[in-house]
A and B are shown apart, each in its own frame.
Chain A
Amino acid sequence: MPEADLPTPAAPDLPAMRGGARRPGNQPDLLPRLGAFARLLHDAGMEAGPRRLTDATRALNHVDLKHQEDFRSALRAVFVSRKEDIATFEAAFDIFWAPPDPRAAAGAMPGRSRSLPMSPERAKAWASALGLSSSQLNREQDATTIPTSSSGYSAEELLRHKDFEQMTWQETEQVRRLLEQAPWRVAERRTRRLRPAKAGRIDLRRTARHAIRSSGELMSLFRRRPRLRRRPLVLICDVSGSMERYSRLLMVFAHAIARREDLEAFVFSTRLTRVTRLLRHRDLDRALDSVSKRVHDFSGGTRIGDALADFNRHWARRVLGHGAVVIIVSDGWDRGDPSQLTAELIHLRRTAHRLIWLNPLIGSDGYQPLTRGMAAALPHCDDFLAANNVQALDDLGRLLASLGSRPSRS
């Protein structure tokens, strides 16, 4: 194979690969280039720390660099640790090591940007992420001039019952704090792991062990019982047009509980997108910013049945282990086929420990679940609750805290 077929770095600031020996040990150029490649992966959101870089160097000692597929596979085996990152890796590899145009690498790289969002940009990100209209954005600025209430308690009480739809920007901030401080935790379930306890089944191992110390006499019985763990939560949140006034607060809610519970989060309008990892960012604004970058159909139409079908086929097996509680948040305005929605809900209910439907419209006076989607969904959910204000989310929290440690349905 001619020299030109060697993997060539594309970044213009890096030295070009010279001819001659092809082992990295004899190739002083390859290490900085690998370092640059690792930085590229890092910028694209992958973990590419020193350990992986060291492993990559070692791995390349065993691979013929002329064989580009092996070179690629070796780096992939080292840098990739989950299926989701394979596409990112392949794109980065193509850009960095084998570009048709050497300038390609200097251009935009898909993935996250490293600059911290500035305050006005953050506001804009919020707006685009959560479908705020410009008038609501203006309300935010106005809000700073509104004098705060003198009675903290009553102000909080009012806030707890205020509909999310009518909230100002500043109130949202207060709601966030309320949600983060909410006292409830998700109920525990029994695991198969046993822990020493005062009561419970006899722990033969510890009992025997003590008997040995006392010359084989059974002096005391030790016991153990199943350890308890919190149930995982799976939140599937509608962010379509009809939900736009609520999705902002529901995402704030999701972010607040993602900090303390085992939460898997998905959003959908026409398509389902997993946002679990994005919500893990400590900073709410940055978390929501990355959600909006990932989700392209915020405030589009709704196809609940399609979204749940996608969930049942591609995610249920991965996230519904360990007695998970599934929460669907939607107003039930569905453009899809109600019979599909019914079929998917039946399946989902069978695989989840509990299926809860939150509908922000329940809070409004005189609401009846008459949308086609809602009517189809109602008989197949375990619970049907409001989600229009902090009080409603607190009620949800209390329900989650009260779930039993055993399967609830037969």
Chain B
Amino acid sequence: MASVPMTIDEVEMRLRERRYIGDRGLATSIFLALKLEKPLFIEGEAGVGKTEAAKVMADVLGARLIRLQCYEGIDLAHAVYEWNYPRQLLHIRLLGEGDDRRTAEREIFSPEFLLRRPLLDAIDNDDPTPPVLLIDEIDRSDEEFEAFLLELLSDFQVSIPEIGTIKAKKAPFVVITSNRTREVHDALKRRCLYHWIDYPDLEKEVEIVRARAPEAADGLAREVAALVQGLRGMDLYKVPGVAETLDWARSLAALGATRIDASIVDATLGAALKYQEDLERIREQVPALVEKARGA
């Protein structure tokens, strides 16, 4: 079944069917983004499932996922299109004496010589269902790129001087994510619906571990989730996200653990903590943390 969900309940249910456990607010935002044909801007700490939400939505809609990973200095040639210069050069050099140069020049600036990058692909395609466009980690790009996106997201069209303006037949479903390593400009955010994904509470996190790391035994899933919940309350440079909880549960399951204990937690602490200072500080407190998590 791949149709646009008709109600918020349906969004919630279909996310869940695909083992994405989100809150009702996220389902509401997704539903409205679909209905209003507006981009959805998702913020949250690293590893809370922002990117995953877009991937799962592609599956819900039966649409192709087009992902644009942002980085500093990303420009139109990487994001929208570029002419295939080597091919153009070859083509023009292979012209015979009798060929008409002017026709040839028109030929080499035709769609055939165009290298299509994700944003053009999202707007100009023959997909039966409009694709899901994931613009990932927009905070890594720079202001110039944001300004360009602003234009693209308002009317879903791009213009290529040699070809003309290309407009989407139907707007793609756009999901933009940000880790807030810098503030994204208000003008861009204003064009989007916004949702902040928080860390889940214990029950929800247990549910997530069970859904996404089924190899972890039930008791282990609960204890790992409780352990991470405990760590989030500690004084850390980098608080572990849900992605870390899942990594940890999978690592422990791979080691054959069905419960946690101080020695195995100590050995695998690196799955959750990524700073040396954090590791050192938490090491001493592992027995107490484990005991608390086992009681949860």
Contact = CB atoms under 8 A, between A and B. Distances in A.
Interface of A: 47, 49, 51-52, 55, 58-59, 61-63, 67, 69-70, 73-74, 76-78, 80-83, 86, 191-194, 204-205, 208-209, 211-212, 215-216, 309, 312-313, 317-319, 321-322, 343, 347
Contacts of B180: 83, 317-318
A317 B275 CA distance: 13
Q: Is the interface of A mostly helix, strand, loop or mixed?
A: helix
Given A70-B28, A77-B29, A215-B101, A209 B38 contact: no
B144 A193 contact: yes
Given A59-B32, A59-B36, A212-B105, 16 more contacts: A55-B193, A59-B35, A62-B32, A63-B32, A73-B24, A81-B192, A193-B73, A193-B144, A194-B73, A204-B85, A208-B85, A208-B88, A317-B181, A318-B180, A319-B182, A321-B181
Contacts of B182: 318-319, 321-322
A212 B236 contact: no
Nearest to A277: B183
B142 A191 contact: yes
Interface in B190-238: 190, 192-196, 235-237
A312 B237 contact: yes
A312 B277 CA distance: 12
Minimum-distance CB pairs A-B, first 8: A192-B73, A208-B85, A73-B28, A81-B189, A193-B73, A216-B93, A77-B193, A77-B29
Nearest to B30: A77
Interface in B41-86: 41, 43, 71-73, 75, 77, 82-83, 85-86
B190 A51 contact: yes
Contacts, number: 118
Contacts of B36: 55, 58-59, 62
A192 B85 contact: no
Contacts of A313: 235-237
B243 to A, nearest CB: 16
Contacts of A70: 8, 24, 28
Question: Which residue, B75, B88, B237, has most C-beta atoms of chain A within 10 A?
Answer: B237
B262 interface: no
B144 A81 contact: no
A173 B24 CA distance: 53
Contacts of A211: 89
A193 B190 contact: no
B92 A212 contact: yes
A209 to B, nearest CB: 7
Contact of A205 (B73, B77, B92, B144): B77
B149 to A, nearest CB: 15
Contacts of A309: 235
A62 B89 contact: no
Most chain B CB within 10 A, of A52, A216, A313, is at A216
Contacts of B173: none
17 contacts: A59-B36, A62-B32, A69-B25, A73-B29, A81-B190, A81-B192, A81-B194, A82-B194, A83-B180, A193-B72, A193-B142, A204-B85, A208-B88, A211-B89, A212-B88, A321-B182, A322-B72
Interface in B234-261: 235-237
Nearest to B182: A321
Nearest to B188: A81
B216 to A, nearest CB: 29
B31 interface: yes
Contacts of B75: 193
Nearest to A218: B89
A5 to B, nearest CB: 17
A216 B88 CA distance: 9
Interface of B: 8, 24-25, 28-29, 31-33, 35-36, 38, 41, 43, 71-73, 75, 77, 82-83, 85-86, 88-89, 92-93, 101, 105, 108, 142, 144, 179-183, 186, 189-190, 192-196, 235-237, 277
B186 to A, nearest CB: 6
A26 B190 CA distance: 27
Given A62-B35, A73-B25, A208 B89 contact: yes
A312 B28 CA distance: 34
Given A55-B36, A77-B29, A318-B180, A209 B92 contact: no
Nearest to B88: A212
Contacts of A52: 190
A319 B101 CA distance: 54
A266 to B, nearest CB: 14
Contacts of B181: 317-318, 321
B202 to A, nearest CB: 21
Contacts of A80: 194, 196
Contacts of B71: 192
A81 B186 contact: yes
Contacts of A319: 182
Nearest to B281: A343
Contacts of B189: 81-82
Contacts of A317: 179-181
Nearest to A232: B182
Nearest to A59: B32
Contacts of A192: 71-73
A83 B196 CA distance: 6
A186 B296 CA distance: 52
A274 B101 CA distance: 63
- Residue of B28, B88, B93 with most chain A CB atoms under a 10 A cut-off: B28
A62 B72 contact: no
Nearest to B195: A77
Contacts of B28: 63, 70, 73-74, 77
A63 B144 CA distance: 36
A277 to B, nearest CB: 9
B32 A77 contact: yes
Contacts of B194: 76-78, 80-82
